[in-house]
Amino acid sequence: MANSAKNSFYVTTPIYYVNDVPHIGHAYSTIIADVLARYKRLTGYDVLFLTGTDEHGQKVEKAARDRGLTPQEHCDLMVGPFKELWDRLSISYSDFIRTTQERHIKVVQNIFQKLYDQGDIYKGFYEGWYCIHEETFYPESQLVGGCCPACGREVEWLKEESYYFRSSKYQDRLQAYIKDNPSFV
């Protein structure tokens, strides 16, 4: 069957943290994405199936430090087991992206700069009770004895400067689109 832009299909796995080796959860979500990609190919779609690794974050930094490595050294060692598992499972991905690759960095920087230049990105502060293990902020009302409700570990008050997306700028258009296209969500 001839393919056209109309017959394109994109599927992605999460981009996995490399704080440790892949486990059954990584395999599960990747197999599901692979099944979908294979089905779409069989039905005539031009499929882009992306997977990869997220090589940033506190868990990755801590895992590297615990191993006596720089974060990049740690990531370079940890990406192998993910690719090896996908090969063992015959995963049919089209592309494997690493967030430390120059091609990824350039695209993210270009998108971010464009959004910033048009006023969609702004700096602000976020603060609250944060669980490092869960990488999640929690309101005080959800804490259990002052600890994380998910894992029971201690939380810490964290205040950090962050970049925000000005979604309010698009609120009216998004609401109208969702109203006019109820199957969109």
Residue 4: per-residue pLDDT: 52
Residue 5: per-residue pLDDT: 55
Residues 94, 113: Cα–Cα separation, whole Å: 27
Q: How do the domains of the chain map onto residue ranges?
A: 1-100
SS (H, E, C) the chain: CCCCHHHEEEEEEEEEECCCCCCHHHHHHHHHHHHHHHHHHHCCCEEEEEEEEECCCHHHHHHHHHCCCCHHHHHHHHHHHHHHHHHHCCCCCCEEEECCCHHHHHHHHHHHHHHHHCCCEEEEEEEEEEECCCCEEECHHHCECCECCCCCCECEEEEEEEEEECHHHHHHHHHHHHHHCHHHC
Q: Could you list the pLDDT tens digit for every one of the 185 residues in the chain?
A: 444 556 999 999 999 999 999 999 999 999 999 999 999 999 999 999 999 999 998 889 999 999 999 999 999 999 999 999 999 999 999 999 999 999 999 999 999 999 999 999 999 999 999 998 888 999 999 999 999 999 999 999 999 999 999 999 999 999 999 999 999 88
Superfamily per CATH, domain 1-100: HUPs (3.40.50.620)
What's the pTM?
A: 0.77
Residue 57: per-residue pLDDT: 87
